[in-house]
Amino acid sequence: MKLDILAIGVHPDDIELSCSGTLLSHIAQGKTVGLLDLTLGELGTRGTGEIRYDESMKAAMIMGAKIRENLRMRDGFFEHSDKNILKIVQIIRKNQPEIIFANAISDRHPDHGRAAKLTADACYLSGLVKVKTYMDGELQAKWRPKAIYHYIQDYNLKEDFVVDISEFIDQKMDCIMAYRSQFFNPDSKEENTPISGQDFLDFIKAKNRTYGRPAGFEYAESFTVNRTIGVKNLFDLS
């Protein structure tokens, strides 16, 4: 399927926490969105990899994403290797997205920054004709996305731009709450974590409110880029 946006996260729920409002906004505008998780998040304190996989599929349905795939790399220990880069290249070439969302370039969790680099390198190499990948036995055509935008996660990095998600904040929270093993669930018997309380959900909304305020939005999500952003019409900027 040809996608407008492919959002990539190293753990199930990275996408929902950091850029699902932006994805919901663009789906409402008629854009096609796909999701790719690199691992099952099996090292998480609560739940299991398979539980988180099932939750991720429920979240994708709530969002309205066209596809969601999981490459089942090794959580916490995946390597920046030819093998893992080519796995991502296959998905990029299969779905030919115009835009890629990727993990934060630097963050508290070491997987996030490593996944950001892995994804960015895969996007570049996907555009090289001499990098060969195959799908169902057929040689894939090269494809390079027009842009890679890194969503901001735990660290409050200086954003390059923000996206208004004011109309979609409640739907974003619904996507997050698909992960009942991870977030606030008064019926859970598992160990408490820094993200399992109601206070964390309140924090997410407050963070999106903080990102939005300087731009005049009630809620926003923030992104960084590794290259200069160009515009053709100044009146398109908010």
Domains within the chain, CATH numbers bracketed: 5-236 (3.40.50.10320)
Q: Is the pTM of this model over 0.85?
A: yes
Q: What is the dihedral of CA 155, 91, 35, 116, to 10 degrees?
A: 0
- Interval 195-238: pLDDT, tens: 999 999 999 999 999 999 999 999 999 999 999 999 999 998 88
Name the average pLDDT for the chain.
96
How many Cα atoms sit within 13 Å of 210 on the Cβ side? Answer: 11
Q: Does residue 212 contact residue 162 with C-beta atoms inside 8 Å?
A: yes
Residue listed under structure tokens 């490459």: 71
How many Cα atoms sit within 13 Å of 220 on the Cβ side? Answer: 18
- Interval 24-70: pLDDT, tens: 999 999 999 999 999 999 999 999 999 999 999 999 999 999 999 99
Which residues are paired to 164 by β-bridges?
A: 220
Q: What is the mean pLDDT of residues 142-166?
A: 97
* CA pair distance 225, 216, nearest whole angstrom: 21
Q: What is the mean pLDDT of residues 66-75?
A: 98
